[in-house]
Amino acid sequence: MAGYLFNRLWQSVVLLVIVSIIGFAVLNLTPGGPLSQFALTPGMTQEAMDRIAEQMGLNRPLPVQYLDWGWRLLQGDWGTSYRDGQPVLDVIGRHITATLLLMGTSTAFSIAIGTWIGIHGATRPYSIFDYTVTIGAMVALSIPTFWFGLVGIYIFTLELGWLPAGNMYTIGDGSVLNYLHHLIMPSLVLSLVNVAVWSRYMRTATLDVINQEFVKTARAKGLTERRVLMKHVVGNAMVPMITLAGMQLPSILGGALVTETVFTWPGMGRLFLDSLGYSDYPVVMGLLMVSAILVLLGSLIADLLVALVDPRIRVS
């Protein structure tokens, strides 16, 4: 187990290095480059541009710039934002909580609802309920998230006036209720696709397990149907779902980016778009690294959880 953990951590580090190299290369190879925003300043001369490049170290060869960036990163210095001169870590730190809050709520919600729908559908296959949620899932999967966001704003904000259209809180009102009020719509919209995905996978996983011999053994023991289902069926069906949850993380992160933009949610997604617009490369690179770490951490935790639940994995 310790050897396994060591191997996985080692692989994660290698992956992070590869991600950072690709990210750095792609960013710096795009036309424009970090200096393009200064070029728009009225009265800017080539000389001044060169001086700025010199100051910022941008005239060095790319590999040197990368190694310098990487070395500083390891020491905890993620660079400073071109936009407002603040340390990148501080900038990201101010936005990460909002994103984690949105992602956490939405993930918890979609796992709970998706799992329930999946089990319910699998125990009554081809029932009206099963058909309804199947069609519902197809609809949710085939319509883009931002459309649901806009429709949600139209119905619940403009027509009914129940929910705010955006932001994380009303300025001047820092109460928990106010935060929750703002959280409802974005997290539900972000959940929609994931509920669909989860319920489909859970249905299949449950159906795979429900006809296995040991479920019959459990019934033959005289267990209640509820215990057979929760302990023996769901217990075994959850094993592949844990891995899936780890793999879903990137898509939730991607979904958060869109959702945050629609609802002007002050998270990493908004920051990412804004920073790209300003060619704020240090922040973009920082966000890239944070998302990569989140995703790797997610799948690492998922793998550890699977090993914890399934004794067969622990051995091999």
Partner 1 sequence: MANHDPIAAPVSALTVRNLTIDLPKGMERKHAVSGISFDLKAGQILCIIGESGSGKSVTANAVMGLLPSAIGISAGSIRCGDVELTDASPEVLRDIRGRVVSMIFQDPLSALNPLMTVGDQIDEVMFAHGEGTWDDRRARSLALLAEVGLPDPELMYHQYPFRLSGGQRQRVMIAMALALEPAILIADEPTTALDVTTQAQILDLIRDIQRRKGMSVMFITHDFGVVAEIADSVIVMEQGVIVEQGSAEQVLCNAQHPYTKRLIAAVPHLSDNDRTHEEVARSAPVIEVDNLRKEYRSGSIFFGKERVVKAVQGASFALQPGRTLGIVGESGSGKSSLGRLLVKLMDSDGGRILFDGQDIAPMKEAQFRALRPKIQMIFQDPFASLNPRSTIGRILTAGPIAHGMAPANASQEARALLEHVGLDGGAFDRYPHEFSGGQRQRIGIARALMFKPKLLVADEAVSALDVSIQAQILELLNDIQRETGVAMIFITHDLRVASQICDEILVMQRGVIVEHGPPSQIFRNPQSAYTRELVAAIPGEKIAA
Which residues would be at the binding site for partner 1 (CB under 8 A)? 3, 212-214, 216-225, 227, 232, 235-236, 239, 309-312
d(CA 96, CA 269): 9
Q: Please, which residue, 30 or 127, has the CB nearer to partner 1?
A: 127
Closest separation in Å from C-beta 216 to partner 1: 6
Residue number, 135 or 308, with CB nearest to partner 1? 308
> In the bound complex, what is the minimum distance in angstroms from residue 132's beta carbon to partner 1?
21
Least distance CB 221 / partner 1 (angstroms): 4
> Angle 128-142/176-210 helices, nearest 10 degrees?
120
Minimum CB separation of residue 302 from partner 1 in Å reads 17
- Compare residues 46 and 316 and give the one whose CB is closer to partner 1: 316
CB of 131 to partner 1, least distance (A): 18
Cβ contact 256:100 at 8 Å: no
Least distance in angstroms from the C-beta of 239 to partner 1: 8
Nearer to partner 1, 51 or 314 (CB): 314
Contact indicator for 299, 306 with CB cutoff of 8 Å = no
Nearer CB in complex with partner 1: 223/244: 223
Q: With respect to partner 1, which residue has the nearer C-beta, 158 or 220?
A: 220
In 143-168, which positions are buried (b, 16+ CB within 10 angstroms) versus exposed (e)? eebeebbeebbeebeeeeeebbbbeb
Q: Smallest distance from the beta carbon of 57 to partner 1, in angstroms?
A: 42
DSSP 8-state code for residue 156? I
**β partners of residue 80:** 87
**Torsion sign across C-alpha atoms 49, 50, 52, 53:** positive
Q: Which of 55, 211 has the CB closer to partner 1?
A: 211
Question: Nearer to partner 1 by C-beta: 111 or 218?
Answer: 218
- Taking the C-alpha atoms of residue 186 and residue 263, their distance in angstroms, rounded to an integer, is 7
The structure tokens 């990569």 sit at 292
Three-state SS for 310?
Answer: coil
How far apart CA 112 and CA 194 sit, in angstroms, is 11
Residue 198 CB, shortest distance to partner 1, in Å, is 21
CA 76/CA 289 separation, integer angstroms = 13
Q: Judge contact between 26 and 76, C-beta under 8 A.
A: no
Q: How far apart are CA 167 and CA 270, in angstroms?
A: 11
